[in-house]
Structure 1
Amino acid sequence: MLSAQLRTDGAEVDPAGIADVVAAGTVPWRRADDGTVEVALVHRPRYDDWSWPKGHQDPGEALTLTALRETAEEAHLGCRLGARLGHTAYAVPGKGHKVVHYWAAEAVRDHGFSVTDETDDLRWLPRDEAAALLTRPTDADLLDRLARVGPPSSTVVLVRHAKAGSRTAWEGDDDLRPLSGTGFTQADRLADFLDRFGPDRLATAPPLRCGQTIEPYAHASGAGEPDVEPLLGEHGYWVSPADGLARFRTLAAQPGVTLLCSQGGVIPDVVGHLLAAAGRSPDPDLPSHKASTWVLGFGDDGALLSADYYRRPPS
């Protein structure tokens, strides 16, 4: 069931080196009044097909941004990203090999569909009806991937703090050691990236550098001050990892999206336990680079459904 993606966003968009054209899109979803999941398809008059909203990556643009921008342009939906759904690949006459990267995306704002040159219709459908209407079989495959990773009941966006000042040069309480100049730059870059996942609430481990890492996002979004979580910093966590994990699961059980900033001595252990509980043998060297992000999706029962890793804050 688990779809763990150890990938970065940004430059490494085509690790196999096979794409002449790189694009990104979403599988937009929402819950109907009866709780069932519906997905949004768009009709493209140029091709007379039904597909997911998608489009070409602009130069220097992160794929996460491409996916959301194209969804807004083609479907007139404001979404927040969830799990990565992988990619589709096919040949385009005269253009070569095209690779389209997809994310599950919860529709949180409907701006009202209007006809454009690119799309002239949008339909919200249950998954089985959507599968029958989609033109490309590879697009229908994405529905199966969506079913495997949710949609989630809750998501945790787990960030490691950005680069801090020198530990050896700092003479005070280590919890008060601030970000370095590089770290503040990373935090600024993280703000836009984190916004693409639409956090509902913020939390941080006690060290100042953790709070400083998500402060630019908090200010830009108007989210306010994060809750401080003593059990999810290195000092509190290793007094009793069981209590720390229990506290993390409590946060993860809250509906919607929780943004949590923690430390490199905590994040790999938490993610490793989650992967093991989901039946996947965790890598003994799970990544947790400074200013990196894990996006973790959870089901109704608290089980981990998806785990996507972004090594650095993209543009």
Structure 2
Amino acid sequence: MPGNVAAAGAVVWRPRDGAVEVALVHRLRYDDWTLPKGKLEAGESVRAAAYREVREETGARVSLGRFLGRTRYRVGTDHKVVDYFAARYLDGAFVPSEEVAELRWMPVADAAGQLSHDRDRPVLAAFSALPADLTTLLLVRHAKAGSRAQWEDADELRPLSRNGEKQLPPLRALAAMYGAERVHSAPLVRCVETVRPMAVDAGVPVVEEELLTERKYEGMAEAARDRLAEIAAAGGVSVLCSQGGVIPDLVSRVAAGSGLAVPRRVESKKGSVWALFFTGTRLVAADYIRVP
């Protein structure tokens, strides 16, 4: 019976002489020009697969960006389902392989004409619909903590549970794929513990954000929204860890102020992430990421 083959890829881009270029690869097996992509390995997330496949096919180290869309097409008796992301080129050099013979950097308009498959063009169009150079803010709900009912000390001192600690490696890997540069957190032990590994990787301190605690957020939601906008306006890639009583309302407020539609019920599972993308202080895209 036919099944689905999961794959992931990216529109890899770089600034060049005041414009934007994207990378296309020529595959020997199919004699086609396409976007870098490949099948997921066992247990691999779509973002991890996109990041790995870009590295393997182009030699590039990238920082992931927003979700661009999904293509679906038949391969033999199966359907191949490919999720695509924007990915900014950081460094690295292409080396031809048995799978990919050539890489070309091209202006977006030229790349659209070079692509061999019509199914790739809407992905490139989705990339072009917004500015390439967006600010990324990863809004993280802290990982699982011990039971509040069984904790006898002050609640802000309640640490992560063993199950929460198991959530840290994939969160850490996700922050690395997005290229986290700065780390902020509500000053609660469970929040700081969630993002401390990310701060270690980035070589930066964890900046405490009192407004992002549930206790402070109530009655000061507008001030918290302004603080998030201030962090976004600094540019680059930031991580911000908060609580379940803050994140859904905060995401809704920021989206409403920017005219961006998000689900009426904003999810925020423990250990999950909202990847928010800004131009200046205006939110232009938002991806919800469930981390195992």
Question: What is the one-letter code of the residue matched to 1:227?
Answer: V
Tell me the alpha carbon deviations over residues 28-73 of structure 1, each in whole angstroms, 9 at most, x when there is no partner.
0112242x22111111122221110111111221111111111111
Structure 1 stretch 289-298 or stretch 137-146: which is displaced more?
137-146
Counterpart contact for 2:180–2:198, Cα < 8 Å: no
Aligned partner of 2:237 among 233, 257, 262: 257
Structure 1 stretch 73-82 or stretch 181-190: which is displaced more?
181-190
Structure 1 stretch 164-173 or stretch 70-79: which is displaced more?
164-173
Shift of 1:222: 4.4
**1:144 corresponds to 2:132:** no
CA distance in 1, matches of 2:15, 2:3: 34
Aligned partner of 1:223 among 175, 195, 203: 203
Q: 1:192 to 1:242 in 2, by over 3 A?
A: same
Aligned partner of 1:71 among 46, 54, 57: 54
* 2:105 matched residue in structure 1: 124
Report the 3-state secondary structure (helix = DSSP H, G, I; strand = E; otherwise coil) of the residue aligned with 2:89.
strand
CA distance in 1, matches of 2:135, 2:3: 34
CA distance in 2, matches of 1:149, 1:309: 19
Q: 1:23 to 1:199 in 2, by over 3 A?
A: same
**1:309 corresponds to 2:288:** yes
Aligned partner of 2:176 among 195, 198, 205: 195
Question: What is the one-letter code of the residue matched to 2:276?
Answer: L
Structure 1 stretch 149-158 or stretch 201-210: which is displaced more?
149-158
Counterpart contact for 1:148–1:305, Cα < 8 Å: no
**Aligned residue pairs, count:** 291
CA distance in 2, matches of 1:69, 1:170: 41
CA distance in 1, matches of 2:93, 2:169: 32
Question: What is the one-letter code of the residue matched to 1:105?
Answer: A
Shift of 1:209: 0.7
Q: What TM-score, normalized by structure 2, do the two folds share? A: 0.94
For residues 1-315 of structure 1, what are the structure 2 equivalents within 5 Å?
19-34=3-18, 36-93=19-76, 95-109=77-91, 111-219=92-200, 221-300=201-280, 302-311=281-290, 313-314=291-292
Question: What is the one-letter code of the residue matched to 1:89?
Answer: R
CA distance in 2, matches of 1:258, 1:202: 6
CA distance in 1, matches of 2:187, 2:64: 27
Instruction: Give the percent of matched residue pairs that are identical in Structure 1 and Structure 2.
Output: 42
Q: 1:112 to 1:283 in 2, by over 3 A?
A: closer
Structure 1 stretch 180-189 or stretch 63-72: which is displaced more?
180-189
Task: Return 5+ residue gaps in structure 1 as ranges.
Answer: 1-17
Tell me the alpha carbon deviations over residues 70-117 of structure 1, each in whole angstroms, 9 at most, x when there is no partner.
111111111111111121111113x421111111111112x2111111
CA distance in 2, matches of 1:43, 1:252: 37
Question: What is the one-letter code of the residue matched to 2:171?
Answer: L
Shift of 1:284: 3.7
Report the 3-state secondary structure (helix = DSSP H, G, I; strand = E; otherwise coil) of the residue aligned with 2:98.
coil
Shift of 1:191: 1.3
Task: Return 5+ residue gaps in structure 2 as ranges.
Answer: none
Counterpart contact for 2:260–2:283, Cα < 8 Å: no
Root-mean-square deviation over aligned CA pairs? 1.7
